[in-house]
Structure 1
Amino acid sequence: MSEPDLYARLAASMARFADKVAIETADRDWTYRDLESAAARLAAVLRNRGVTPGERVLAQTDKSVEAVVLYLATLRLGAIYLPLNIDYTESELAYFVADATPVLAVCRNASRDLFRRIGGNALAIATLDDLFADLTDADASVFARQPGDVAAILYTSGTTGKPKGAMLTHRNLVSNGETLIDFWRFTPDDRLIHALPIFHVHGLFVALHCAFFSGAAVIFQPRFDPQAVIAAMPRAKVLMGVPTFYIRLLNDPAFTREAASAMRLFVSGSAPLSADIHRAFEARTGHRVLERYGMTETGMITSNPYEGARKAGFVGPPLPGVSVRIAGEDGAPLPDGEVGIVEVNGPNVFAGYWQMPEKTASEFRPGGWFITGDMGLIDADGYVQLVGREKDLIISGGLNVYPAEVEALLDDRDDVAEAAVIGVPHPDFGEAVVAVVRPSGRLDEDAVRADLRRDLAGFKVPRRIIAVDELPRNTMGKIQKKVLRERYADLFAQD
């Protein structure tokens, strides 16, 4: 039997579980039949607006079931889905539009003029309301795709500051989803609390595919609110979140062992969960958080087991069908226990970066091994431990920030002679972005941050800008960011 494409796999679930509730919101319940019908009719609207197989559909919308239907409708047509963070600024969006050349941008009403300025006459623009207002009884046939065809492009910032579009194929997304529902024991009886955004891998692919592939129900919440999540727990079984979720739940006195008693699984990812939080969560609830490890380019790579030891500070062994090794800078594999670069191979590994063949080639070893850039080790039990990041990636609230992108804007300023951007521990976000700068004149921290907000999404803007006389350097003149991270490690420490 040939491998199904992603929409065929989703459609099989929507047919099998047609009368079950797929998504529950405060306003209504959507059955799997409702989702399939809406996706079929919306696909006809997209087709009438010029979307054809292989074209890109850009989506920068608020979280809603209608946005999920847009994703399904795009796949049904054989087109490529391009979700974007709603916090991206005009300059960031202009890059994505120029690079991906989408045929349609689906945006919020307030963003219409912005996309008109960016795309001109070459870009069709619509809101979800526009598209759903055009629905009729007509639907669009399913356009079958091959396993190696691209299903989605997700942009990830580059260490040089230039974002890269990771091309995720139908095989990548189907194989990862099938592996996870088996490994994490998903069944049609599950109900997943979904409080994540749906513009990245965690919320869109991991959470929704686990639910949809297995016929489970999704309790769809517009954003993470600890009280709303706690209120949903008595009728739910699974929560997927980032470390910030679990930190904020522990800070809420209503989050008790009794409140979590109906739950079977808490999953954490997108950023490291500290061992302290892991232990505090178990002490409060009796549940051990299941920590896993993934990337935009690979989906999920490793996971602590559903049954068996969930080690605090470790992200578990490789998932079935996925291979992980630790390599030195020369690419030679290292023995267990030694720290090196984490490299991954398997059906989950992406097809490369959109329109960047040279960059793609530089990120792979012979044999298809993808160089993650994360530093880690594998212990005697086969569990992976991440110990840092080769290129200083900052993960704040589960979102990636690459220092080079922020540093480039700071270095362009007349009042900044040079800048170093680092991540330091933060009690709520895991890591906070901090800029340490050597001023070339009078520096107004609030004014600098306000200026940066015009060019950067809010999560990338430094929470503090610290002026110093000199930046620490090694004998080769390179700024020692490790020294800075150590110096300001307690900047956000709680009293």
Structure 2
Amino acid sequence: MLNLFAQSLTSPDKTAIIDPEGSYSYRQLQAESDKIAAILLGKKSDLAEARVAFMVSPGFDYVKIQWAIWKAGGIAVPLCITYPLPSLAYVIEDTQTKIIIAGPEYVEILQAYAEEKNIRFLTFEEIDSASSGKELPRIDGQRGAMILYTSGTTNLPKGVLTTHNIIESQVSTLINAWQWSPEDHTICLLPLHHVHGIINVVSSALWAGATLQFLHPFDAKQVFDTFLEGKVNVFMAVPTIYFKLISEFESCIEEEQQQLRDCMAKFRLMVSGSAALPVSVMEKWKGISGHYLLERYGMTEIGMAISNPYEGERRAGYIGQPLPGVQARLVDEKNQTIEIGQPGEIQIKGPSVFKEYWGKPEATAKSFTQDGWFRTGDVAVIEDGYYRILGRDSIDIIKSGGYKISALEIEEILRKHPAVNDCGVVGIPDEEWGELVSAALILKESTDPKEINQWLRAQMPAYKTPRKYIVLDELPRNAMGKVVKNDLKKLF
């Protein structure tokens, strides 16, 4: 039995999951997932890594289906519940999915498509009415377990294949580094077709024997109301969620604010990830909650690789140090290790790194060095032993007038201007400069970008200051709240 399932047998009557429909014990999770695994198998003894795509809302149903796919020997392919059919079809066809499972809200989107493509289609009605009981296959850790898709911010999404061993390495690393225990109670607000929600929150909590509560869809007031119940002690979110929670907090009366402060002060851990956390948000949240958010760095391909410490100094603007069992290095464009203090590409090695891009051997080969290091494409610098991200080489590193400029650094300074609510900085192709530093602004109040530019020139060298500005109501973002910079470039 896989470690993820074995852990849950130690306290079968403990509450595993709470969702809007009720609460469920670890015993119920085991029994329900066994039953669904038997249904998936049908007359087969093993799904033998057949891909099973599922479109299910966050909650007990999601987890029991994911576990069932793994128990039956299939490869789980979680579908984004907000994607239109063409995006879903891309994933289903790319993975050559053999079975599709749809929650009641999504049957209409997928059923006709599944029938047209002759793909086995399962609804909850069929699952609930089926009888259970069947011997389940023994699952070897080397088998494929899950295919998650990259966010596609720079090109077409690629399917990232991980094995059970890789998932167990990713989860056990976090259990140890962040000191998960059965006493923990966390809430999941994150999309469950990404590594952050699936590995960091759901799988880590359930491996530890903790209680996992789902709140869906996201509502800032509901999050705070749940905090005030006094059970939650671990919280993980993305910068946009913290931004919304800060706005909600500021709208509360003083008495409510104090109640929230007292409540959050008792939390054990608060984490931010999936996108760069603005220092301004980090400091505001510290003032509200008493917690310096633990910022970490990971990718679909590597799980979590670098993290600020659970115990010890957490530095705003830094992603921390390599996690135990993870090897990390910075290299130059010739793939040579660089001197400390110089910027370079982060490369990662270790048992948490993915197996391959599904069906794309050339892309897989290109993403690794000859000696087996995964090329992340992210540029960072090491300062006093801590990694600081400068940006993604193809998106956040702007090559202008012979300089390499970090878009993230400019964004961080722009956010300090009193009129700027948020911003996104990109490089726009330009004959003279190579790329023109360009900024999209979301403003709190009507302000001439020329005034902001003058202010900016007093904060940083002139060659880094944007030469072009646009004002927007909102920035284009993906499901994880990350700004899609290729879409942003088009707006210029």
Using structure 1 for the length normalisation, give the TM-score: 0.78
Structure 1 residue corresponding to 2:16, chosen from 22, 28, 35: 22
Distance 1:159 1:230 in 2: 31
2:469 pairs with 1:488: yes
Structure 2 residue corresponding to 1:353, chosen from 353, 357, 362: 357
Distance 1:262 1:103 in 2: 47
Distance 2:234 2:329 in 1: 30
After superposition, where does 1:231-242 map in structure 2 within 5 Å? 231-233=225-227, 234-242=230-238
The 8 Å contact of residues 306 and 321 in structure 2, kept in 1 or not, is answered as yes
1:284-341 CA-partner distances (Å, limit 9, x unpaired) = 2211111111100110011110110000001110100001111111111112211121
SS in 1 for 2:431: coil
Distance 1:345 1:32 in 2: 34
- Name the CA shift for 1:493/1:223 in 2 (closer, same or farther; >3 Å): closer
The 8 Å contact of residues 165 and 354 in structure 1, kept in 2 or not, is answered as yes
Q: Specify every segment of 5 or more residues in structure 1 that has no aligned partner in the other structure, as ranges.
A: 1-6, 395-422, 437-470
Displacement after TM superposition at 1:213 (Å): 1.3
Structure 2 residue corresponding to 1:388, chosen from 382, 388, 391: 391
The 8 Å contact of residues 425 and 437 in structure 2, kept in 1 or not, is answered as no
Distance 2:158 2:87 in 1: 12
After superposition, where does 1:256-295 map in structure 2 within 5 Å? 256-295=260-299
Pick which of 115-124 and 364-373 moved more: 115-124
Match of 1:80 in 2: 75
Match of 1:168 in 2: 162
SS in 1 for 2:92: helix
Displacement after TM superposition at 1:262 (Å): 2.5
Displacement after TM superposition at 1:148 (Å): 2.8
After superposition, where does 1:22-41 map in structure 2 within 5 Å? 22-41=16-35
Match of 2:199 in 1: 205
Match of 1:326 in 2: 330
The 8 Å contact of residues 83 and 154 in structure 1, kept in 2 or not, is answered as yes
Distance 1:265 1:489 in 2: 38
Displacement after TM superposition at 1:64 (Å): 2.4
Which amino acid counterpart does residue 215 of structure 1 have in structure 2?
A: G
Q: How many corresponding residue pairs?
A: 419
Distance 1:139 1:11 in 2: 17
Structure 2 residue corresponding to 1:312, chosen from 316, 320, 343: 316
Distance 2:77 2:315 in 1: 35
2:70 pairs with 1:115: no
The 8 Å contact of residues 40 and 140 in structure 1, kept in 2 or not, is answered as no
Match of 2:7 in 1: 13
Displacement after TM superposition at 1:488 (Å): 3.2
- Name the CA shift for 1:475/1:185 in 2 (closer, same or farther; >3 Å): same
Distance 2:361 2:325 in 1: 26
Q: Sequence identity, in percent? A: 32
Match of 1:474 in 2: 431
Structure 1 residue corresponding to 2:48, chosen from 44, 47, 53: 53
Displacement after TM superposition at 1:493 (Å): 9.3
1:340-392 CA-partner distances (Å, limit 9, x unpaired) = 211111111101100100010011112211111111112222x1111111122
Distance 2:125 2:264 in 1: 37
The 8 Å contact of residues 56 and 80 in structure 1, kept in 2 or not, is answered as yes
Q: Specify every segment of 5 or more residues in structure 2 that has no aligned partner in the other structure, as ranges.
A: 398-409, 416-420, 441-465, 476-492
Which amino acid counterpart does residue 392 of structure 1 have in structure 2?
A: I
- Name the CA shift for 1:431/1:360 in 2 (closer, same or farther; >3 Å): farther
- Name the CA shift for 1:113/1:258 in 2 (closer, same or farther; >3 Å): closer
Distance 2:153 2:222 in 1: 37
2:236 pairs with 1:222: no
Distance 2:430 2:422 in 1: 23
Match of 2:129 in 1: 133
Pick which of 76-85 and 25-34 moved more: 25-34
1:144-194 CA-partner distances (Å, limit 9, x unpaired) = 12x332110011145663221001111211011111111111111111122
Distance 2:287 2:109 in 1: 49
Distance 2:224 2:104 in 1: 32
1:448-468 CA-partner distances (Å, limit 9, x unpaired) = xxxxxxxxxxxxxxxxxxxxx
SS in 2 for 1:311: coil
Which amino acid counterpart does residue 100 of structure 1 have in structure 2?
A: T
Superposition RMSD on alpha carbons, in Å? 2.8
Which amino acid counterpart does residue 292 of structure 2 have in structure 1?
A: R
2:245 pairs with 1:249: yes
- Name the CA shift for 1:49/1:185 in 2 (closer, same or farther; >3 Å): same
Distance 1:272 1:160 in 2: 17
SS in 1 for 2:322: coil
Using structure 2 for the length normalisation, give the TM-score: 0.79
- Name the CA shift for 1:49/1:224 in 2 (closer, same or farther; >3 Å): farther
